[in-house]
């Protein structure tokens, strides 16, 4: 699979940890399978193009982390110039449901879980 193909809504991905071999958000699992629902604007003024987009993702299973239980996460690219490809390193936030505007995230509606989470495409639509 070509790693330069852009990630898109409908693609199935696998999410797993980065720098920590057993991150708490994985709850003892090796990875979570999920589907990309949409891309939304992060509203970070210093960013442009792909690096300004966040992926809204629906997990196959719930995650329970720091008092929030949900099947929805938000993935945000980490680096200037980074693009959404078939695999990459991202920030991952647990959401209390799908969101349409990343600027509306609050401490009660989301939990930041990791800065170096990894994703890889497992099925393209």
List CB contacts of 72: < 8 A, sequence separation 6 or more: 37, 56, 57, 58, 59, 94, 95, 96, 97, 98, 99
**pLDDT band at residue 37 under the 50/70/90 scheme:** very high
Q: Note the pLDDT of residue 55.
A: 95
Count of domains forming the chain: 1
Rounded Cα–Cα distance for residues 88 and 118 (Å) = 6
Structure token pair of residue 71: 């099947």
Give pLDDT, residue 2.
40
Residue 4 counted as domain residue: no
Q: Would you state the structure tokens that stand for residue 67, as one six-digit string?
A: 């008092």
pLDDT class of 104 with cuts at 50, 70, 90? confident
What pLDDT score was predicted for residue 96? 94
User: What are the two backbone dihedrals, phi and then psi, of residue 87, each rounded to the nearest 5 degrees?
Assistant: -155, 160
Least confident of 35-49, 57-71, 101-115: 35-49
Domain membership of residue 5 (yes or no) is: no
- Whether 64 is covered by a domain: the verdict is yes
Mean pLDDT of 111-115: 95
Confidence of residue 4 (pLDDT cuts 50, 70, 90): low
pLDDT at 52 over 70: yes
Instruction: Please report whether residue 60 resides in a domain.
Output: yes
Whole-number average pLDDT of the chain: 89
Q: Does the residue 88 lie in any domain?
A: yes
Structure token pair of residue 5: 């193909």
**Has residue 2 been placed in a domain?**
no
Q: Give the range of the structural domain holding residue 61, as residue numbers without chain letter.
A: 12-123
Tokens 């809204």 — which residue? Answer: 56
Q: State both tokens at 82.
A: 């980074």
Answer whether residue 23 is part of any domain.
Answer: yes
């Amino acid at each position: 699979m070509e790693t330069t193909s852009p990630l898109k809504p409908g693609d199935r991905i696998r999410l797993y940890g980065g720098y920590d071999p057993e991150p708490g958000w994985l709850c003892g699992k090796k990875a979570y399978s999920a589907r990309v629902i949409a891309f939304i604007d992060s509203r970070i003024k210093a960013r442009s193009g792909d690096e300004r987009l966040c992926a809204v993702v629906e997990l196959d299973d719930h995650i329970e982390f720091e008092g929030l239980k949900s099947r929805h996460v938000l993935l945000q690219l980490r680096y200037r110039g980074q693009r959404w490809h078939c695999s990459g390193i991202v920030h991952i936030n647990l959401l209390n449901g799908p969101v349409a505007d990343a600027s509306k995230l609050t401490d009660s509606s989301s939990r930041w879980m990791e800065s170096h989470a990894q994703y890889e495409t497992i099925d393209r639509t």
